[in-house]
Amino acid sequence: MQHDRFHGRIAGQPRHCQAPGCPEPGEFRAPGEQRPGFDGPGDYRWFCLDHVRAFNAGYDYFSGMSQDEIVAAQNPVHGWERETRAFSPTAGIDGAPRWRDFADPLDAINQRYRARHPAQRSDGRAVTPEERRALEVLGLPLDANRTDLRSRYSQMVRKYHPDRNGGDRSYEQRLQEVVEAYQLLRKAAAFS
């Protein structure tokens, strides 16, 4: 491994020194006018070794800051008063999936994707993840209309209701899911 004598030299891309009238290659970067912040990483100026030394000798990090901002930036714990994504309890996500609910890990990933990217019907109305699950319970497509919803609900209630299948109560859980799905969808904006 070959070590460079000057730390910070970024070679490879041919850049010219941005000091006026300097013909040397710009191999060292220095902070530009825009500082790093909410809007992005900021910009850089590119200088040769002599000009980056001159820039660094006159650089003032605190220029443009108020007295209170300078005191806050000099605080030993500056930058640690907010949780970084890696150390926050949720690590920047909305909660880990409950893996025991999924037979395949890809199903968990798929569910998170669907929650963040709501589907749209052909008429342009968005369908929430809960409404999508309710449609799956009823076996209806995304573009089903109110008539389809009522018809499918009636059909499934006849199929699973104990009075319709000889008093068999083994389908009560499934019937409850069908009723809850219908109640959610009949109030949904997509079916109004």
Q: Which domain holds residue 37?
A: 9-60
Confidence of residue 22 (pLDDT cuts 50, 70, 90): very high
The domain that holds 173 is classified in CATH as 1.10.287.110
Domain termination residue (choose one: 60, 84, 99): 60
pLDDT score of 41 more than 80: no
Q: For 140-159, how does the pLDDT look when each residue is reduced to its tens digit (9 = 90+)?
A: 988 888 899 999 999 998 88
Q: For 85-125, how does the pLDDT look when each residue is reduced to its tens digit (9 = 90+)?
A: 555 555 555 566 666 777 887 887 777 776 666 677 777 77
Cα separation of 37 and 93, whole Å?
22
What is the total count of domains within the chain? 2
Instruction: Dump strand ranges (E) for 121-167.
Output: 126-127
**Closest to 149 (Cα-Cα) out of 165, 131, 176:** 131
Q: For 154-190, how does the pLDDT look when each residue is reduced to its tens digit (9 = 90+)?
A: 999 888 888 877 777 788 888 899 999 999 998 887 7
Considering the entire predicted model, what is its pTM? Answer: 0.41
